[in-house]
Structure 1
Amino acid sequence: MSESQNRATAAAILPLVGGPANVTSVAHCMTRLRLSLRDRSLVQDGALKALPDVLGVVEDETYQIVLGPGKVARVTPEFEALVAAEGPAARTVTAQELARQGEELKRRRKAKNATPFKLLLRRVADIFVPLIPALIGCGVIAGVNGLLTNLGWLPSVTPALAATASGFMALIAVFVGFNTAKEFGGTPILGGAVAAVIVFPGVADVSAFGEKLAPGQGGVLGALGAAVLAVYVERWCRTRVPEAVDVLLTPTLTVLVSGLVTVFGLMYVAGEVSAGIGTAANWLLDNTGAFAGLVLGGLFLPLVMLGLHQALIPIHATLIEQQGYTALLPILAMAGAGQVGCAIAVYQRLRRNTSIRATIKSALPAGFLGVGEPLIYGVSLPLGRPFVTACVGGAAGGAFVGFFSMLGDKVGSTAIGPSGWALFPLLDGNRGLGTECAIYGGGLLVGYAVGFLATHFFGFSGQMPAELNTDTAEAAGAAEPGPASSASPPSSPATAAD
């Protein structure tokens, strides 16, 4: 998409979300433009969904417009520029508008208080999501370097590639600390400074709980805990240190207190927790691989639907730190394969519904590359049963990959973020690249096949095929799910966060 097209997309979206005066903040993740709005009632959902570049919308704490990977990163700066250029227009605030705003604030507050655990998981996810591009880039470079090393090619270049791929992972604790402090309302650089203690080589001279510490001990979990502690120490100092010496004492006390607690406590505790995660994951796959894969692959789509899948990022990062790869991600990726198989079956069953078939055709390429939200919110979830049969396909693919883990053939990923076919360059394990690609590819084929068959034979009930399989404009408008429209029942709102 050219720069002018990106600007045109942003210009088309802005008036449909209430104009610049209604936008209070703009951000984006891997696939979505996330907006904080003053008045939700000003948004024209139907018109937004009708825009060619909009794959769907999701209402959560922020209003999320699904644009797809790559595209959202290019449209967001154009949208921000338009909001800044036009500025907040002056307008009269009516009593009705104030009432609506009050009701909206009440609703948001009620939702926030009702799901504290869910919001905590999202906050943790927001710490790690900004790190995903670097994890992907370094993971791909590591994969290329491993291939060149195995083939004996470019021996003078591979050490440089190894350094390039490993540098970020060596300092990931610092970035986690920085983002954690930022997310929890502290000074980001202080969070990074405290977390840097964990990777400092000199901690090898320190003993805690009767044992010598190792640089990096505790990893990302230790960095997260250290930065959260730093935020609370900083807040305590801000309320008690006199203003005249605040600039000197507050950062000093924050780094000193948090750093010492990290060295003499958090590093050891977080190290034990991290080791426990690695041991548990290995035991699970070694002893119950097929069953574990069945459960993980089958439940991952609901986690995506609820926006809780990002909470697994710290676990993946911990496994990558310990073992060089996460064996959980290829299993979880099978959920996307089940979703693709499901969508193909829907496409085949509803031959006359040009609306749904057009949605599937536009969303399938992203689905093959592991971006599942367009198919989830545009096809399977609004239809109901196909979402369940997609999960069945994911469970079958997960069981396939898990079964080989039980046989000792582990397949993992050197980075997090990509899925589907995009995961092939990041595959790693203990049996060689050929075996790993064969097992992972076999799992995808099983997921596609079972997702297709389960949806074809069990995905439609009663009069559902007759009602949906029509090419009339009226029926298509009534039946077309429309990306993310009524993506879930009111009792369990769809709040995926990518």
Structure 2
Amino acid sequence: MAENKHRDIAASILPLVGGAGNVTSVAHCMTRLRLGLADRSLVQEDPLKALPAVMGVVDDDTYQIVLGPGAVARVTPEFEQLVAEGRPAGPADSAADGSAPAAGTGGTSAEDLAARGAAIRAERKQRNATPVKLFLRRIANIFVPLIPALIGCGIVAGLNGLLTNLTGTGHLTWAAPLVPALAAIASGFMSLIAVFVGINTAKEFGGTPVLGGAVAAVIVFAGVSNVHVLGQKLAPGQGGVLGALGAALLAVRIEKWCRRWIPEALDVLITPTITVLVTGLVTLFGLMFVAGEVSTAIGTGADWLLSAGGAPAGFVLGGLFLPLVMLGLHQALIPIHTTLIEQQQYTVLLPILAMAGAGQVGAAIAVYFRLRRNASIRKTIRSALPAGLLGVGEPLIYGVSLPLGRPFVTACVGGAFGGGFVGLLNQLGDSVGSTAIGPSGWALFPLLDGNKPLGTVVAIYAAGLLAGYVTGFLATYFFGFGKQMLTDLNRAPQEASGGGAVADPAAALVHETPAEPAGAATPAG
């Protein structure tokens, strides 16, 4: 009944602030529902103030509706859900329900391929809406906002390593005082990353962000070394981001339970206390130990996979990454990358997965040379290729290779050979890793690290990219097109558009398109 009451309050507020389409952001503090509104003239302020649950309104940088402590925390998630349900479907959603042109109904121009790519993207979005994939997407939403800090700190760490080597060999001695300063800048975020994971986890799963951060902070607190579990001292940071993720999820569950049973008048005092106390004890006497063991197993498993599997492991990882993205399962790798960076200062998996983008670039170049008379598709490739070289593969995937079909498969072959090369070198003792997640392609060069001098690491990664480019190009050039498909795609525009020579020039696209649609091309998703 209480939940229905709070939903009714949210439902009575929403039309009086202009409806779901007028709401741009939703947040709350201790007493107020804070709304970002596109057009404040749509607010019906007098009827809003007359609602029994509304204690007042404040028109500030956000439009603030005073609901009181306890009540606002319960009304806000209901309001957010109503806003999400009330917004009109976007272009992708429209495509998914049939309003977009059917795939394969166009001709052979870049616009036709782009329309088909959009339809495939919409189909993928609809197909990926399974509980497991939606959960993985939420996990990705926790870690993706951390990527800018990981990139920035990773590059600073690389600069600091270079400066350390130079000053240690007698060069740039004047810069020696910068070494500890850069080390502090690079390491500060990583030492507290568990707190940020806790904040984002609570926010994503409907809890109070600061409470998620509070329970995650227990993990990195130096004083945990005084706590003994199973006769062993805990270590600050034990369990890392996985422990923080588990702690924050537990905190959200406890907080929501408290909201259901604790009277609103006592909510502001009792709910956060119970949440922090219970979650903190479970974290100290259970989660930190378990998550620590899991984190150690992840690091050990990654090292074993590449040291024992070498080229075959790299071949499989590089070749299957794009299909993995199609299924939405690549998001499960983000916490693994983060754990490896936290443990080893770099993730050895990302450079191998980045080879998938290299295969895609090689395939696109081959398409460019094979379709000499198709100016439209060649123009698309010219405009999308620079982004592809920097690791942004969506324009090439959705605009070129995926709608064409076979070139997408041959792109995966290129990624497999690039990944196999890097995996082989890893097996031989030359580890190549990335200090951050997100970038790939050429954009990954500033973030490279490994167990050998930086020049060696860069050379191995560059050679892997070259292997991906060349193999993707050759595989696509010789095996990426059927004979009839190649003929149709190279017809003059007037022939393809209605000269009678081709009954259905798009038929080749339909017959050779992979069954599974694809997603984002970058390793971070």
CA distance in 1, matches of 2:154, 2:436: 5
CA distance in 1, matches of 2:141, 2:218: 23
Instruction: State the Cα deviation string for residues 293-344 of structure 1 (Å, max 9, x = none).
Output: 0000001111233333232110000001111110111111111110000000
Are the equivalent residues in 2 in contact too, given 1:290–1:399 (CA < 8 A)?
A: yes
Instruction: State the Cα deviation string for residues 448-468 of structure 1 (Å, max 9, x = none).
Output: 000000001111113011011
TM-score, normalization by structure 1: 0.78
- Amino acid across the alignment from 1:134: A
Change (3 A) 1:21 1:259: closer
CA distance in 1, matches of 2:116, 2:403: 14
CA distance in 2, matches of 1:224, 1:210: 25
Are the equivalent residues in 2 in contact too, given 1:177–1:223 (CA < 8 A)?
A: yes
C-alpha displacement at 1:242, in angstroms? 1.6
C-alpha displacement at 1:151, in angstroms? 1.0
Could you tell me which of 288, 303, 306 is aligned with 1:285? 306
CA distance in 2, matches of 1:62, 1:237: 40
Structure 1 segments unaligned to the other structure (5+ residues) = 1-19, 28-34, 65-107
C-alpha displacement at 1:212, in angstroms? 0.7
TM-score, normalization by structure 2: 0.74
- Amino acid across the alignment from 1:149: T
Are the equivalent residues in 2 in contact too, given 1:22–1:39 (CA < 8 A)?
A: no
Are the equivalent residues in 2 in contact too, given 1:338–1:392 (CA < 8 A)?
A: yes
SS in 1 for 2:202: helix
Asked whether 1:429 is paired with 2:450, we answer: yes
Match of 2:470 in 1: 449
C-alpha displacement at 1:123, in angstroms? 1.1
Are the equivalent residues in 2 in contact too, given 1:57–1:63 (CA < 8 A)?
A: no
Match of 2:88 in 1: 38
Match of 2:162 in 1: 147
Instruction: State the identity as a percent.
Output: 69
Asked whether 1:118 is paired with 2:133, we answer: yes
CA distance in 1, matches of 2:442, 2:410: 21
Could you tell me which of 163, 185, 196 is aligned with 2:206? 185
Match of 1:175 in 2: 196
CA distance in 2, matches of 1:287, 1:139: 28
Larger radius of gyration: 2
Report the count of equivalent residues. Answer: 420
Alignment of 1:222-301 (within 5 A): 222-301=243-322
CA distance in 2, matches of 1:427, 1:159: 21
SS in 2 for 1:412: strand
- Amino acid across the alignment from 1:239: R
SS in 1 for 2:449: strand
Match of 1:129 in 2: 144
SS in 2 for 1:463: helix
Asked whether 1:369 is paired with 2:390, we answer: yes
Match of 1:357 in 2: 378
RMSD over aligned Cα atoms: 3.3
- Amino acid across the alignment from 1:360: I
CA distance in 1, matches of 2:512, 2:224: 50
SS in 2 for 1:428: strand
Change (3 A) 1:411 1:42: closer
CA distance in 2, matches of 1:120, 1:336: 26
SS in 1 for 2:141: helix
C-alpha displacement at 1:145, in angstroms? 1.1
Instruction: State the Cα deviation string for residues 155-181 of structure 1 (Å, max 9, x = none).
Output: 111211111111111111001011111
C-alpha displacement at 1:117, in angstroms? 1.2
CA distance in 1, matches of 2:456, 2:327: 34
Change (3 A) 1:59 1:466: closer
SS in 1 for 2:483: coil
Tell me whether 152-161 or 467-476 shows the greater mean CA deviation: 467-476
Change (3 A) 1:388 1:262: same
Match of 1:388 in 2: 409
CA distance in 1, matches of 2:310, 2:278: 43
Match of 2:327 in 1: 306
C-alpha displacement at 1:63, in angstroms? 11
